[in-house]
């Protein structure tokens, strides 16, 4: 098999699992008590201010309230990372914990009239544990673009590395009004200096071209901490599944 054809096969095979993962997630129905506790942590420490909701599952015989999709409970975790939910009526619900649209956990639950020893009354979720840790907010925006052979397949097989200058980036603190803006330079490098330790939401504008398609807006969580061994975020544009082309941390730097 020729080198270019082999490269093309590897590229397509790498994209296949991501596309397959677009299928609907399979949730296990958990039987729970009418009174629940939800604990949310970040890197094993309790985290306050995470929104927790309980929303009825919409089924053919749902009541008017259930069919509305409105939560029957909404609350936020306290300084212990805990929220307590009481007096849920029997039925099926979605239990979600999230903050700024970033999910900590989601469970399909069924409140039972007669609990037994296996009936759950407590859930533990982790929020932002998969965030990228770094000592400072700096990095590069790179990707792959088609080659210039004039043959579509060969252009993909002979993809060329590129950088993305002039891309707008917005950094917002997850739990305060602190925010910053910058633009990548001619080498794709970006820097937001003097950012205090904490969890932030980094939004990178889309519209750039790559072998995976046109970039969507990327939104990711990063944690600035002086305990991190990383001081930069080399970000690469790639197919992340579900027909999304977004920036992710370059595998070589993980």
At residue 45's C-alpha, the angle toward residues 44 and 49, to 5°, is 125
- The pair phi, psi for residue 89, each rounded to 5°, is -80, 150
Q: Summarize the confidence of residues 49-60 as an average pLDDT.
A: 90
Is the pLDDT score of 40 beyond 80? yes
Q: How confident is the model at residue 157 (pLDDT cuts 50, 70, 90)?
A: confident
- Token representation of residue 202: 């980094």
**Residue 69 in contact with residue 55, Cβ under 8 Å?**
yes
d(CA 202, CA 219): 6
Give the pLDDT score at 241: 83
Is the pLDDT score of 126 beyond 50? yes
| CATH class of the domain defined by 29-126 | mainly beta
Provide the residue count of the chain. Answer: 254
- Token representation of residue 104: 């900590």
Give the tens place of pLDDT for each residue, 191-208. 999 999 999 999 999 999
Give the pLDDT score at 146: 85
**Residue 100 in contact with residue 170, Cβ under 8 Å?**
no
Percent of the chain with pLDDT over 90: 70
d(CA 233, CA 189): 10
Percent of the chain with pLDDT over 70: 85
Average pLDDT, whole number, for the chain? Answer: 87
pTM of the predicted model as reported, rounded to 2 decimal places:
0.81
For residue 17, the tally of other CB atoms under 10 A from its CB is: 9
Q: What is the sign of the dihedral through the CA atoms of 232, 178, 220 and 206?
A: negative
Give the pLDDT score at 5: 47
Q: How confident is the model at residue 68 (pLDDT cuts 50, 70, 90)?
A: low
Q: How confident is the model at residue 253 (pLDDT cuts 50, 70, 90)?
A: low
Of 48-52, 62-66, 122-126, 232-236, give the lowest mean pLDDT range: 62-66
CATH number 2.40.50.140 given to 131-253: no
d(CA 149, CA 6): 17
Contacts of 180 (CB under 8 A, 6+ apart): 137, 170, 171, 172, 192, 195
Residue extents of the structural domains in the chain:
29-126, 131-253
Q: Which residues of 95-116 are buried (b: 16+ CB within 10 A; e: fewer)?
A: bbbbbeebebbebebebeeeee
């Amino acid at each position: 098999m020729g080198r270019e054809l082999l490269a093309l096969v590897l590229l397509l095979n790498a994209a296949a699992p991501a596309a397959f993962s677009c299928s609907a997630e399979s949730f296990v129905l958990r039987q729970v008590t009418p009174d629940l506790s939800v604990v949310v942590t970040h890197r094993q420490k309790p985290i306050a201010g995470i929104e927790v909701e309980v929303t009825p599952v919409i089924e053919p015989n749902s009541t008017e309230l259930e069919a509305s999709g409105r939560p029957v409970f909404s609350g936020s975790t306290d300084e212990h990372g805990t929220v307590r939910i009481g007096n849920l009526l029997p039925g099926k619900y979605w239990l979600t914990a999230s903050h700024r649209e970033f999910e900590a956990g989601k469970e399909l639950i069924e409140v039972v009239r007669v609990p037994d020893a296996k009936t759950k009354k407590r859930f533990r979720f982790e929020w932002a544990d998969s965030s990228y840790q770094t000592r400072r907010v700096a990095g590069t925006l790179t990707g792959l673009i088609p080659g210039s052979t004039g043959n579509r397949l060969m252009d993909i097989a002979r993809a060329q590395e590129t950088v993305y200058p002039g891309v707008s980036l917005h950094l917002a603190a997850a739990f305060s009004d602190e925010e910053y803006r910058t633009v990548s330079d001619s080498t794709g490098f970006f820097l937001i200096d003097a950012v205090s330790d904490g969890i932030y939401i980094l939004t990178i504008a889309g519209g750039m071209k790559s072998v995976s398609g046109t970039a969507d807006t990327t939104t990711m969580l990063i944690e600035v901490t002086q305990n991190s061994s990383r001081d930069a975020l080399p970000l690469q544009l790639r197919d992340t599944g579900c027909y999304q082309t977004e920036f992710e941390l370059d595998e070589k730097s993980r």
